[in-house]
Chain A
């Protein structure tokens, strides 16, 4: 059989590269939690990594759902906990992802070669109607917006949507690790965002043009589910780029890392009331991370296997962390522990840090 040569110009650039600009588009990584109940925190990632939920008033449950279209394993589901009728300046954006500038340079925005972007996703909702996905170029010289509407035709049914956005030849995505492109899935909004004409081409930010046509209210128990999200430099949608769990997990760890199950991790004491350990992150993060921990250290002395072992379990009053290195973004983090006065017999002794599966060290470098 003779070989057929396909001219290069007929093959999308996406064939040759990791085409999906979205991280965790199949919603399979959820390091924070599988579900969060009745949250109204504005602008936070609750469950599925990299996908924010943002509102200025509504309250909702968020979960990594095992309900999905064929060929997937998970979706992210947001369910209203109470009705929400936004005032003029209020809104609900149950899904949002921010993309770093250094991932966007291949799109050649701000040049005559600016590439089209095609967004494809699976969505399911209890509520039919017209909704909007907005792309925002967060250029420091002034934001640029481009919104497209789509229709959910049937309630409680998975539907596949495809939206194509022309490239912006006038304004670049700035390079670097900051959020330069944000995708907003608008589900309801007040007139501040809906009273104009939908921005169906790249334009300077006009609030009234951002979400024209979305419902003016949502009801208690209204829900939306999203998965299979792909944003690619292409004129049309191509099949979803499925990654392994490990591949998605690795991408997510650039933004968030969570550790548990410590057993005899080396620490040393300085003074008689403080200890310290050097902790190495599994991979370098986007920027120096914020540190926190979960678990009640002060009550874990003897029976829950969280403490500093010297000659007996001792109480940890608190943990804290500063930057351990002068490097701009080191993988090494210094974690200090504080203890009741004169806990240790002396300074400069080696001790072991123990913590069970319900205790977590958390490093957050999201954008």
Chain B
């Protein structure tokens, strides 16, 4: 998977910790749950391990 952007996301109506990540993967905008069983989230974790950073939520 080619990840080019990742930013934490929470619903504008909700407070608390973000529960997903808005990411651009293989050119597509995806909303990825923060769940270690999710394949895209695993890929984002690997992307972070390579030195990349997930932007903070708005």
Contact A177-B37, Cβ < 8 Å, known A41-B26, A270-B13: yes
Contact A276-B40, Cβ < 8 Å, known A288-B33, A290-B32, A320-B22: no
How many Å from the CB of A237 to the closest CB on chain B? 31
CB <8 Å contact, A336 and B37: no
Chain B residues within an 8 Å CB radius of A289: 33, 38
Measured in the bound complex, the distance between the Cα atoms of B14 and A322 in whole Å is 10
CB <8 Å contact, B12 and A271: yes
How many Å from the CB of B23 to the closest CB on chain A? 9
Chain A residues within an 8 Å CB radius of B32: 290
How many Å from the CB of A174 to the closest CB on chain B? 13
How many Å from the CB of B35 to the closest CB on chain A? 4
CB <8 Å contact, B11 and A322: yes
Verify if B31 is at the interface (C-beta below 8 Å from A): yes
Chain B residues within an 8 Å CB radius of A271: 12-13
- Of all A-B residue pairs in the complex, the 8 with the closest CB atoms, nearest first, are A287-B37, A288-B33, A288-B35, A291-B31, A322-B20, A323-B19, A290-B40, A321-B31
Binds B, one of A83-91, A116-124, A157-165, A359-367: A359-367
- Number of chain B residues close to chain A: CB under 8 A: 25
Chain A, range 315-352, C-beta contacts under 8 Å to B: 320-323, 329, 334, 336, 338
CB <8 Å contact, B33 and A43: no
Chain B residues within an 8 Å CB radius of A336: 11-13
Q: Which residue of A lies closest to B32 (CB)?
A: A290
CB <8 Å contact, A276 and B37: no
Interface SS of B by simple majority: loop
Verify if A97 is at the interface (C-beta below 8 Å from B): no
Chain A residues within an 8 Å CB radius of B12: 270-271, 274, 336, 338
Chain A, range 23-58, C-beta contacts under 8 Å to B: 41-44
- Number of chain A residues close to chain B: CB under 8 A: 29
Chain A residues within an 8 Å CB radius of B9: 320, 322
User: 19 more A-B contacts (CB under 8 A) besides A270-B13, A290-B31?
Assistant: A41-B26, A44-B26, A177-B37, A270-B12, A274-B13, A276-B13, A287-B37, A288-B35, A290-B30, A290-B38, A292-B29, A320-B9, A320-B31, A322-B20, A322-B33, A334-B11, A338-B12, A364-B40, A365-B38
Chain B residues within an 8 Å CB radius of A320: 9, 11, 22, 31
Measured in the bound complex, the distance between the Cα atoms of B24 and A292 in whole Å is 11
Measured in the bound complex, the distance between the Cα atoms of B11 and A334 in whole Å is 9
How many Å from the CB of A102 to the closest CB on chain B? 12
Q: Which residue of A lies closest to B22 (CB)?
A: A320
How many Å from the CB of A51 to the closest CB on chain B? 15
Measured in the bound complex, the distance between the Cα atoms of B32 and A289 in whole Å is 7
Measured in the bound complex, the distance between the Cα atoms of B18 and A336 in whole Å is 14
Of the candidates A274, A287, A338, the one having the most CB atoms from chain B within 10 angstroms of its own CB is A287
